[in-house]
Amino acid sequence: MKVKGSCHCGQVTYEAEIDPEKVSLCNCTDCQMLTGSAFRLSVPAPAATYRLLTGRPKAYVKTADSGAKRRHSFCPNCGTPVSACADTDAPPFYSLRIGCLEQKRELPPKRRIWCKSALEWAQDVSKVPGIPGQ
C-alpha cells in the first residue's frame, strides 16, 4: 500500500510502500517519551520504497539498554517525529509514524508490543467521556 506522510508544519514530506498487516502499537517507555503520549503506532517501510520528497529531517540517536542504536528523525522546525531506523546510512527499513500518514484511518494496529511497560489506563479509553461535537 502506498502512503504519503508529512510533519505538522509541512516542511518534511515523504512517501513509501507499506504492508498494513505490519502496523504495531508500541508501549515501550522510549515511545511514550518520544511521542509525549501513552504509546506509538508505527509501520516499517522497506528502505527501497521510502522517498523523502521535501525537507531535511534532523536525527537523534538513542542507545537502547541492549546497546542497539536507533536513529530517530524529526522535523527540525516543528519537531514532529517522522521515522526511526537502524543507526546507519543504509538501513533496511524505516519505521514510519502512523499519525503523520494521510492513510492513517486505514491503518489500525495488528499487534501490541512491549506490553510490560504499557500504561493500563491507555489500553481502553472507550469509556472515557467524549466531548460532543468535537
- One residue of 28, 38, 47, 86 binding Zn ion per CB under 5 A: 28
Choices 2-10, 58-66, 90-98, 124-132; region in contact with Zn ion by CB under 5 A: 2-10
For position 26 contacting Zn ion by CB under 5 A, the verdict is: yes
d(CA 42, CA 82): 10
Name which of 56 and 131 has its Cβ closer to Zn ion: 56
Pairwise CA distance, residues 69 & 16, whole Å = 23
- Of 61-100, binders to Zn ion (CB under 5 A) are 75, 77-78
Instruction: Give the other-Cβ count within 10 Å of 40's Cβ.
Output: 23
Q: Does 11 bind Zn ion (CB under 5 A)?
A: yes
Instruction: Report d(CA 52, CA 110) in Å as an integer.
Output: 26
Q: Does 43 bind Zn ion (CB under 5 A)?
A: no
Number of residues near Zn ion (by CB under 5 A): 9
Joined grid coordinates for residue 43:
509501520
**What whole-number distance in Å separates Cα of residue 53 and Cα of residue 100?**
14
CB of 78 to Zn ion, least distance (A): 3
Instruction: Pick the binder of Zn ion from 3, 7, 84, 118 (CB under 5 A).
Output: 7
Q: List the alpha helices (DSSP H) in the chain.
A: 29-35
Binding site for Zn ion (CB under 5 A): 7, 9, 11, 26, 28, 31, 75, 77-78
